[in-house]
Amino acid sequence: MWYLVLCTIAIVTIILTQWVYSWRNPRCNGRLPPGSMGFPILGETLQFFSSNISSDVPPFIKKRMEKYGSLFRTSLVGWPVVISTDPELSRFIIQQEGKLFRSWYMDSFDDIVGRQNVLSVHGVLHKYLKNLILNLFGPESLRQRLLPEVEETTRQHLQLWSSQASVEVKEAIANMIFDFTAKKLISYEEAKSSEKLRENYAAFLDGLISFPLNIPGTSYHKCLQGRKKALRILKNMLHERRASPRQRVDFLDLIVEELEKDDTILTEGIAIDLLFALPFATYETTSTALTLAIQFLGDHPSALAELTKEHEAILRTREDVDSGITWKEYKSMNFTVMVINETIRLANIVPGIFRKALRDVEIKGYTIPAGWAVIVCPPAVHLNPAEYDDPLAFNPWRWKELELNSGSKNFMGFGGGVRLCVGAEFVKLQMAIFLHHLVTKYR
């Protein structure tokens, strides 16, 4: 009897030992990047999701860069992952979309944003959805419609805030942008609706970057509940609009037109995921960037003076000082774009760009196995002291000799390649208009 028990224990121990060894030493048709796979299944997930209040490269990334270099492996929520902090390599990975790599996100992210969201779909469908979004945020729409509408919204909110004793900037800007975007997308006005859509997005946001534990009380659970409630509101709106179609007024009308076409590839599920993701993608990123821009300018009087000088010069060349910003004026705001780029570089709103290897990829002497996830780390690129002198300092003038209006291997605040953010110019437009009115009319 004891012999049988001892044999069973020995066999189990051997199996577990082999499992742990194979987990920590994955098979590869080449040389894996250095790193640690952590504990079986859990990997290094807890360390990855630990809170970070620093403006520097996240501690999880920084410690491993110091230990392993600019390319290393780990494991997150059961997935083997290679993380790149190297500018050239990161740009190569992004540029190889659909060839060596493709866009990929963890299951927990897809559960939150939607499995058919524009970030996760590929090929023809991704191109189709981008073209749909360009109807709203494309250059022609920005020039003809959105510029004057964004300016009017900005004027109204700044005037309202100026009459208040105090303003919590991040929340106030987020509300302003959410209200504007929701109106353009679905003709939604929070003040006139019994459904408080913004509250559900707030719950959604709180758990977006959290440990994916779906039990009551966790941030992730609250996030999923926020998504569920927001989807219910959006589905009801879509069904009502399909039942009573009208001439195109907002983005939802365009969606209804597309759904009714005989040869459409758009489904109701894809449409709902798109309508859900767009408000978050616009209001959260822009409000964060604008809040930080205000803080940086307040802390750097010389930058504020230079920005004010540029915008006051615009006013002096106008026949009517109170007339709206023209497209030509917007395109002349060179120092403003420097401020925006420097803010986005330091903000690092997107902590990682996720890809998956489509086949074994040989790179810098290492092999990334097919099926492995790859994370490009923009903060490590944007705060690289080899590329940016004093990288944690706010210095808009560093952009003077650099390309201002596109991504590069050292600047990926809006992604890159075929996945370059389709709303990038809209974000810059909103920020530029807000800063124009802030520095010319307010203190």
CB environment 381-420: b (16+ within 10 A), e (fewer):
bbbbeeebeebeebbbebbeeeeeeebebbbbbbbbbebe
Please count the other Cβ atoms lying within 10 Å of the Cβ belonging to residue 358.
Answer: 15
Which candidate, 233, 232, 238, 206, places its Cα nearest to that of 219?
206
DSSP string, 15-83: HHHHHHHHHHS---SS-PPSB---BTTTBTHHHHTS----SSS-HHHHHHHHHH-SEEEEEETTEEEEE
Name the residue among 286, 229, 218, 308 with its Cα closest to residue 424. 286
Q: How far apart are CA 173 and CA 285, in angstroms?
A: 11
Residues 6+ apart with CB under 8 A from 70: 84, 85, 86, 89, 380
* DSSP assignment of 285-324: HHHHHHHHHHHHHHH-HHHHHHHHHHHHHHHHT-SSTTSP
Find the helix or strand (DSSP H, E) in which 397 lies: none
Q: What would the two tokens of residue 404 be?
A: 């201002």
Give the annotated binding-site residues.
421
From 204, 256, 252, select the one nearest 230 (Cα to Cα): 204
Q: Contact, 207 vs 194, CB < 8 A?
A: no
**Tokens in use for 313?**
């010069």
| Sequence ranges of the binding site for heme | 421
Of the candidates 412, 417, 423, 419, the one whose C-alpha atom is nearest the C-alpha of residue 84 is 412
Q: Which residue has the tokens 């039990």?
A: 215
Please state, in angstroms and rounded to a whole number, the distance separating the CA atoms of residues 392 and 384.
9
CB 35 within 8 A of CB 73: yes
Q: Which residue has the tokens 């860069």?
A: 65
Helix axis angle, 197-206 relative to 169-186, nearest 10°? 120
